Structure 1
Amino acid sequence: MTSRTTQGAAVIEFRGVGLTYPGPPAVQALHPCDVSIAPGDFVTVVGPSGSGKSTLLNIAGLLDTPTQGRYLLNGIDTAALSPSRLAALRGERIGFVFQAFHLLPHRSALENVELAMVYRAVPRRERRTRAAAVLERVGLAHRAAALPTQMSGGERQRVAVARALVGEPSLLLCDEPTGNLDSATSASLLDLLDVLNRDGMTIVVITHDRQVAEHGRRTVTIRDGVLHEPAHRPGAA
């Protein structure tokens, strides 16, 4: 996996980052917080519905702009960037995996992964080669020609992970990635995330499931928009 992190820089660094939606009345979705996530870390974020987990993920994923503080992604101060540069940075550095798979139903697994590179002007032959390689990496080389309607939920989520990885991001953001999966399939997906992390991928998983959270090296708890200091679990890999 290609590393594009500035030498010595955290992948995610929040410096007093907060987000308030204007009113009336104003809503403080995320209170100012400091968070640092190093390259190769695996952080899980837990909290009840409406706690601010999605706000945190949206800021980290450059989908929302904080109203307070500074967010540095790979050492780059995102506040200094134009909307077009933010969009480009998001495409270059961040892979997303959501609870819903968001696959095109009439496109094969290989084509769904290839489509992630279309708007980055990657030549077609290279798209095909890279998509095939990343499907093999997630254990789905044998299902490359299958349509999403012919695949299990776990297989579809692995295609979504492959699509997130094909651009060689420095950060993988997962929003309730096991939410639509049964317990056995969830365990298989989490094993895959563990492997990716051991290979050096920086991963942040948003979840309400404490068992999912146990896969992280660190767990952040958020409630009513207040982030509690990350804790390292003794013995975590």
Structure 2
Amino acid sequence: MISLEGAGLTYPGPPAVTALLPCDLEVHQGDFVTVVGPSGSGKSTFLNIVGLLDSPTQGRYRLSGVDTGQLGDATRSALRGRRIGFVFQAFHLLPHRTAAENVQLALVYRRVARRERADRARELLARVGLGHRADALPTTLSGGERQRVAIARALVGTPSVLLCDEPTGNLDTATSEQVLGLLEELNSDGVTIVVITHDPSVAARGTRTLSIRDGVLTEPQARRGHV
């Protein structure tokens, strides 16, 4: 699914700054990977590379067998739209649009018919336990409900991998548990998940945990699943 071969990223200077040192990594279909590290360690750079937002300046990144370094900008954007779903700490929902409308927006630029967009959005909201709140505005939803809407939006395009950047960062303990439980359910259904977090308790929920410190990616301990 995700293959990094000596992949690293150095921002040009002067002085040049190496944000991620060359690393090797294989993430397989159905993995639940968590990535931990202090602020400024390189977690965001790792996420940007895997999410096709940045290109490695060294090495190679293959996504589902596609060598992404050989793609032009338009093709990369199209691949990102088809294969990757994003969930962020900030929910990024439009306040004047209903939950269903927010989810539908992810399909607008794919020229999906309006009726199909509406049906797909309600299907995904039901999947994340919010079918009864499809017509609610984000301002009337709890933090956990808004994050569920964001997850439904990320899933509506049927991505191969779900990238989550501190998905529980704005949530209380009980609500965080609900969101993590949902991610585990999605993973059990076959969704490949990568979660960036600074919270050890969140990291422990993955089947694999990676660590990034000073731009160095390591896998200290493989608990279950692929190594």
| TM-score above 0.5, yes or no | yes
- Residue 186 of structure 2 is aligned with which of 196, 201, 216? 196
Q: 1:147 is matched with which residue?
A: 137
Q: 2:16 is matched with which residue?
A: 26
In the alignment, the residues of structure 2 paired with residue 82 and residue 231 of structure 1 have an alpha-carbon distance, to the nearest angstrom, of 36
> How high is the TM-score relative to the length of structure 1?
0.94
Within 5 Å, which residues of 2 pair with 1:52-201? 52-201=42-191
2:2–2:61 CA contact under 8 A, matched in 1 = yes
1:232 deviates by 1.4
1:235 deviates by 9.0
Q: 1:170 to 1:234 in 2, by over 3 A?
A: closer
Q: 1:180 to 1:23 in 2, by over 3 A?
A: same
In the alignment, the residues of structure 2 paired with residue 229 and residue 219 of structure 1 have an alpha-carbon distance, to the nearest angstrom, of 6
- Residue 42 of structure 1 is aligned with which of 24, 32, 39? 32
In the alignment, the residues of structure 2 paired with residue 161 and residue 198 of structure 1 have an alpha-carbon distance, to the nearest angstrom, of 15
2:3–2:26 CA contact under 8 A, matched in 1 = yes
In the alignment, the residues of structure 2 paired with residue 219 and residue 33 of structure 1 have an alpha-carbon distance, to the nearest angstrom, of 15
Q: 1:58 to 1:231 in 2, by over 3 A?
A: same
In the alignment, the residues of structure 2 paired with residue 17 and residue 235 of structure 1 have an alpha-carbon distance, to the nearest angstrom, of 23
In the alignment, the residues of structure 1 paired with residue 192 and residue 64 of structure 2 have an alpha-carbon distance, to the nearest angstrom, of 11
In the alignment, the residues of structure 1 paired with residue 73 and residue 13 of structure 2 have an alpha-carbon distance, to the nearest angstrom, of 24
2:6–2:58 CA contact under 8 A, matched in 1 = yes
1:231 deviates by 2.9
What do the CA deviations read for 1:119-150 (whole angstroms, capped 9, x no partner)? 00000010001000000000000000100000
In the alignment, the residues of structure 2 paired with residue 50 and residue 178 of structure 1 have an alpha-carbon distance, to the nearest angstrom, of 19
Give the length in aligned residue pairs.
226
RMSD: 1.1
1:218–1:230 CA contact under 8 A, matched in 2 = no
Q: 1:6 is matched with which residue?
A: none
In the alignment, the residues of structure 1 paired with residue 224 and residue 105 of structure 2 have an alpha-carbon distance, to the nearest angstrom, of 41
1:43–1:220 CA contact under 8 A, matched in 2 = yes
What do the CA deviations read for 1:134-167 (whole angstroms, capped 9, x no partner)? 0000000000010000000000000000000000
Whichever residue aligns with residue 60 of structure 1, its letter is: V
Q: 1:8 is matched with which residue?
A: none
Matched, 1:220 2:199: no
1:13–1:37 CA contact under 8 A, matched in 2 = yes
Aligned residue for 1:95, secondary structure, equals strand
Q: 1:121 to 1:223 in 2, by over 3 A?
A: same
Q: 1:170 to 1:27 in 2, by over 3 A?
A: same
In the alignment, the residues of structure 1 paired with residue 95 and residue 70 of structure 2 have an alpha-carbon distance, to the nearest angstrom, of 38
Aligned residue for 1:120, secondary structure, equals coil
2:33–2:194 CA contact under 8 A, matched in 1 = yes
Q: Which runs of 4+ in 1 moved over 2 A?
A: none
